[in-house]
Amino acid sequence: MKARLFREILPQVSKPVRYAGGEVNIIKKDWDKAQAKMVFAFPDVYEVGMSHIGGKILYGLVNEKSNHLMERSFAPWPDMEEVMRRENIPLYSLESFRPLRDFDVIGFSLQYELSITNILNMLDLSGIPAWSKDRGEEYPLVTAGGPVAFNPEPFAEFFDAFLIGDGEEIILKFLDCVYNNRSLAKDELLKQLARIEGVYVPSLYRVEYKDNGTIKSMSPVVKEAPAKVTRQVVEDLDQSYYPDKPILPYMSIVHDRAVLEVMRGCQRSCRFCHAGMVYRPVREKSLETLKKQAAAQLASTGYEEISLASLSTLDYSGVKSLVKDLVKEYGPLGTGVSLPSLRVDAFSIDLANEVQKVRKTTLTLAPEAGTQRLRDVINKNVTEEQLIQAVEAAFKSGWLAVKLYFMIGLPTETEADLDGILDLLAKVKAIGDKYSPRPVEVRASLASFVPKAHTPFQWYPQNSIEELDKKRHYMMRKKRRRIKLSFHDSQTSYLEGVIARGDRRLALAIFKAWQKGCKFDGWSEYFHFDRWMEAFRECGIDPDFYTCRQRDYEEIFPWDFIETGIDKEYLIEENERAKKGISTPDCRQDGCRDCGVCMTLGVDLQIKEGMECE
Amino acid sequence: MRIRVEYSVGSDLRFLSNLEMMNLMARALRRARIPFALSEGFNPHIRLSMGTVLPVGLWGKREYFDLELMQEISPDMFINNMNQVLPQAMRINKCIAITDDTPTLMKSINCACYSFILSSSPTQLQEWKDNLLKQEELLVKSRGKKKNVDKNLRQGILKIEMNNQGDFAIIDIWVTVGEPLNVRYDELRDLLVQTGINEQDILDIYRSGNYIMVNDRYYTPLEKVK
């Protein structure tokens, strides 16, 4: 297989190194000696998939700490797909160049709602039926995990099982179970798997609907399946596995650097934020662990940059000492430190100056909304004063461009809030031009708000495509010159919204969209909205039902059976506070807000380096 | 201290671009803890100059780079330490110290040898070669920047050697590179096919060496450092 690929196939395609494997630090285990054999499948191209930390953790954990084996596979770019289909080459793994069908388990990473068509396409390229009911004993188990799996229902009929929560807590139990029960028939094996905490086997549940289309009940049909599937969490990240020798790709990938996960979770409680809800509580690593992990990764990869990753790295309690120590230790070797996201305050800018002894390119900040009122509604605890201070500090220290992230279509938004965004941008531009020797560049990226499952905004209707487009036209008309606005595509956002809060009945429409040629839907050049709408029509589905409808507190949601640890009462209370424009402080500073996570999951907030007063 | 290094790139790495090859080498230097020198400025980088750019799709037997070091290191130690961290498909074969005034690889290399492995050994190979070298003009469509323009390769073809290995044959073709006439491997392949060699018979192509040609003599970049 490999010889043929190298000689005949890869010379025909763009970026062949995507498909060639053999990278530094790859782990290729002896196939015949391994117990369960799993392939980690990422439904996007290599350079996107290889930038994902979760996959690196699972790959190292399974291969280094168990007798099971894990290999990798990615979605081929359409040019490669065409050659593969023409030449009858099945989708293969990059370690042993084996077809995906040879594995016991395929594990897809669900990072984005619209990657589902790529998953169906990858199964098809592997000669594996898309529907779980059509897969007999001869096929691998098809599973998935990741943030989108917190509402797995739109994909329920494609997968045999979902792994809910921090993967490193479940994966080995899952593979042990697969291996130990290898003599069982698939339906019996699935019952055994359903007994593992955090594993959801969709075929073992029945859903009934009311006349108005909402859910009447959802319940397990066998005793092995729990009524609620509880998200699994790593209690202490200092004790959990993290790869010291991540694979070093030859290709320049999206995040081409060593990555240090400084903590998991974020408790700023922005009410729109899915990750902020489903990854609670904050669990930090200690400085000691982080420095050790940095040293190991740099020694094994030779990377020239190390990035401090998390949902909100500037909130890590030891961030200042960590940055200082890393810069001191590795700066003389030409190795840089980078911060992926900045908080909107002057402290952030100081720290950014510390690490950016290099060219000051674009500073990126996320105020999310244009007025104080709306920022209070969404609980983005940032004041205009903080933003102005941050921007002043940045321009004074030599930055020449600022990019600001906002959302449009937020709950309670009015024209005044859109004007607020434009005013804020004009102020930022004026400050920049005052402090900087040449005109500064101010850009704003405007995403469309998509209500997500498990958040305080899960009851809200999403703005329709027409509403979003109207807002875009309004802002483009009113904006000042030399301020650049870029908007997310409203059709893409709409479709994300439909799937984000969808249920099992969407599966056929998703399947039909794929049959009509939809794939790489996250890539604008391949996105075909009309095909999706056609698919919905053919299935008699009104997509507005899923995303443009106001829902009430009594409604049973498709994702309610997933126990994230957060009480529904807390989400309701947060939504009520939002309506009144009352913000909620971070529970680290102001005491427990009773969201329920720590109690339900038996974990604790973990602040490792004490509270730094800034 | 400045060193010049000869390395090989195996078939598994044939699809790497020049930038990817450079990153691979720079990261290997870091893993091997080589005391490389850094450039000045805000964005310091390793003072590494990849003298030869292997075309995507080819493997290479003798490629070269120069490197500046902050402190002395024995060439043997350099070779050892690097080979411990490099991918199996890439090996450092030779390393010598060079003086500061040694001309750069980019400036001095003016000739490369491309090798074509043919599946069967066509009996008329000698005749093919004699005929080829008799021509005044060998036109192919350019594959370089000016695409599809007629390009005469004749002056750029310096020498052809053939090696019959029984089941297969290897044709080594020495060509000029850089200015004034840069002959590319894919243009040579087109030439072979145009002049009667069956495309299906070309099993593999690699670059077997890079040379500094002075008065019809070929020196390797390690031999010609003054």
What phi-psi label fits residue A290: left (phi over 0), alpha (psi between -120 and 50 degrees) or beta?
Answer: alpha
CATH code, domain with A134: 3.40.50.280
CA distance B31 to chain A (A): 5
Check if B57 contacts A (Cβ < 8 Å). yes
The dihedral through the CA atoms of A248, A252, A258, A259 has a sign that is negative
Q: Which of B53, B79, B107 is the last residue of a domain?
A: B107
Residue A398 in this model has a pLDDT that exceeds 90: no
Task: Identify whether residues B167 and B207 lie together within a single domain.
Answer: yes
The verdict on A559 touching B (C-beta cutoff 8 Å) is no
Q: Does B148 touch chain A (CB under 8 A)?
A: no
Task: Give domain status of residue B8, yes or no.
Answer: yes
**pLDDT tens for residues B97-110?**
999 999 999 999 99
Q: What is the ipTM metric for this complex? A: 0.91
Q: What is the pLDDT of residues A221-261, one digit of tens each?
A: 999 999 999 999 999 999 999 999 999 999 999 999 999 99
Residues A216 and A272 in one domain: no
Question: Could you tell me if A58 and A112 lie in one domain?
Answer: yes
One domain for residues A8 and A100? yes
Element (H, E) at A56: helix A53-65
Report the candidate in A538, A570, A500, A524 with the shortest Cα–Cα distance to residue A149.
A500
pLDDT at B123: 66
Q: How far is B71 from chain A (nearest CA, A)?
A: 14
In a domain? residue A540: no
Judge if A171 and A283 occupy the same domain. Answer: no
Say yes or no: B137 and B198 in one domain.
Answer: yes
Instruction: Assess if residue A31 is contained within a domain.
Output: yes
Does a structural domain hold residue B225? Answer: no
Q: How many helices (H) and strands (E) does chain A have?
A: 22, 19
Taking CA atoms, what residue in B is nearest to A336? B43
pLDDT at A134: 98
Q: Which of A184, A211, A230 is the last residue of a domain?
A: A230
pLDDT for res A464: 97
A591 contact B CB<8A:
no
Contact B38 A302 (CB under 8 A): no
> Is residue B36 situated within a structural domain?
yes
Q: Are residues B100 and B138 in the same domain?
A: no
Q: Dump pLDDT digits (tens) for A285-324.
A: 999 999 999 999 999 999 999 999 999 999 999 999 999 9
- Give me the pLDDT at residue A357, please: 55
Residue B226 falls inside a structural domain: no
Residue written as token pair 């492995």: B117
Chain B nearest-CA distance from A17, in A, is: 5
For chain B, give the percent of residues with pLDDT over 70: 99
Contact B42, A359 (CB under 8 A): yes
* B20 → closest Cβ in A24, A250, A357: A250
Kindly state whether residues B35 and B88 are assigned to the same domain: yes
**Are A210 and A309 within one domain?**
no
Cβ A359–B42 below 8 Å, yes or no?
Answer: yes
Query: Are both A565 and A467 inside the same structural domain?
Result: yes
Q: Could you report the per-residue pLDDT of A503-531, keeping only the tens digit for each?
A: 999 999 999 999 999 999 999 999 999 99
pLDDT in tens, A582-603: 999 998 888 899 999 999 999 9
Domain co-membership, A216 together with A305: no
Residue B120: closest CA among B165, B167, B164: B167
> Looking at residues A335-352, what average pLDDT do you find?
80
Please indicate whether, in this complex, the C-beta atoms of B11 and A6 are within 8 angstroms of each other.
yes
A303–B contact, CB cutoff 8 A: yes
Q: What confidence score (pLDDT) does residue A614 get?
A: 41
User: Residue A443 in contact with residue A403, Cβ under 8 Å?
Assistant: yes
Same structural domain for residues A167 and A101? yes
User: What average pLDDT does this structure show over A449-474?
Assistant: 98
- Output the pLDDT for position A611: 59
Tally DSSP H helices, then E strands, for chain B.
Answer: 5, 11
Q: With 70 as the cut, is the pLDDT of residue A335 above it?
A: yes
Average pLDDT estimate for A353-368: 74
Facing B12 at nearest CB: one of A22, A301, A334 = A22
Band the pLDDT of B121: cuts 50, 70, 90. Answer: low
Cα(A135)–Cα(A133) distance, integer angstroms: 6
For the segment B23-77, what is each residue's pLDDT rounded down to a tens digit?
A: 999 999 999 999 999 998 777 889 999 988 999 999 999 999 999 999 999 999 9
Looking at the fold, whether A212 and A352 belong to one and the same domain comes out as no
- Could you please report the per-residue DSSP string of A453-481? TTSTTTTSPPPPHHHHHHHHHHHHHHPPT
Higher pLDDT, A334 or B208: B208
Based on the fold, state whether residues B81 and B123 are members of the same structural domain: no
- Written as six digits, the tokens of A479 are 């904006």
Q: Summarize the confidence of residues B138-149 as an average pLDDT.
A: 88
Q: State how far Cα A496 lies from the chain centre.
A: 13
Domain that holds residue B119: 109-219
Establish if A241 belongs to a structural domain.
no
Question: Which residue, among A19, A298, A304, would best test binding to B if mutated, counting the most B CBs under 10 Å from its CB?
Answer: A304
**Inter-chain CB proximity B27 and A20 less than 8 Å:** no
Average pLDDT over residues A264-280: 94
Q: Which of B78, B107, B136 is the last residue of a domain?
A: B107
A436 Cβ neighbours under 8 A, 6+ residues apart = A395, A400
Q: For the residues A36-55, what does the mean pLDDT come to?
A: 98
Domain tally, chain A? 2
User: Is a pLDDT exceeding 90 seen at residue A476?
Assistant: yes
Query: HSE (CB half, 13 Å, CA atoms) of A419?
Result: 4
**A258 close to B (CB below 8 A):** no
- Report the number of distinct structural domains present in chain B: 2
Instruction: Tell me whether residue A495 is in a domain.
Output: no
For residues A440 and A432, the answer to whether their CB atoms sit within 8 Å is yes
Q: Within an 8 Å CB–CB cutoff, is residue B29 touching chain A?
A: yes
- Which CATH number covers residue A444? 3.80.30.20
Asked whether residue A131 is domain-assigned, the answer is: yes
pLDDT tens, position by position, A132-175: 999 999 999 999 999 999 999 999 999 999 999 999 999 999 99
Is B21 in the same domain as B101? yes
What was the pLDDT predicted at A356? 64
Task: Give the per-residue pLDDT at B163.
Answer: 87
Domain region containing A137: 2-230
Per the domain annotation, does B224 fall within a domain?
no
- Cα distance between residue A42 and residue A48, in whole Å: 9
Provide mean pLDDT across the span A88-117. Answer: 98
Q: In this structure, are B165 and B89 located in the same domain?
A: no
Same domain (yes/no): B85, B114 = no
Does residue A89 surpass a pLDDT of 90?
A: yes
Segment A525-554 mean pLDDT: 97
Q: Are residues B114 and B215 in the same domain?
A: yes
What's the confidence (pLDDT) of residue B75? 96
* Of A299, A301, A334, Cβ closest to residue B38: A334
Query: For residue B96, is it within any domain?
Result: yes
Do A202 and A292 lie in a common domain? Answer: no
pLDDT of residue A613: 42
C-beta separation of A575 from A277 below 8 A = no
Residues B128 and B200 in one domain: yes
The pTM score is 0.95
**Closest-approach residue (CA) in chain B for A358:** B42
Rounded distance between C-alpha atoms, residue A494 and residue A485, angstroms: 20
Residue B140's CATH number: 3.30.70.60
Positive/negative CA dihedral, B217, B218, B220, B226: positive
Give domain status of residue A142, yes or no: yes
Contacts of B11 in chain A (CB under 8 A): 6
Spell out the residues 6+ positions from residue A189 whose beta carbon is closer than 8 angstroms to its own: A141, A177, A178, A181
Of B107, B126, B150, the last residue of a domain is B107
Residue B137: inside a domain: yes
Distance of CA A596 to the CA centre of its chain: 23
A14 touches chain B (CB under 8 A): no
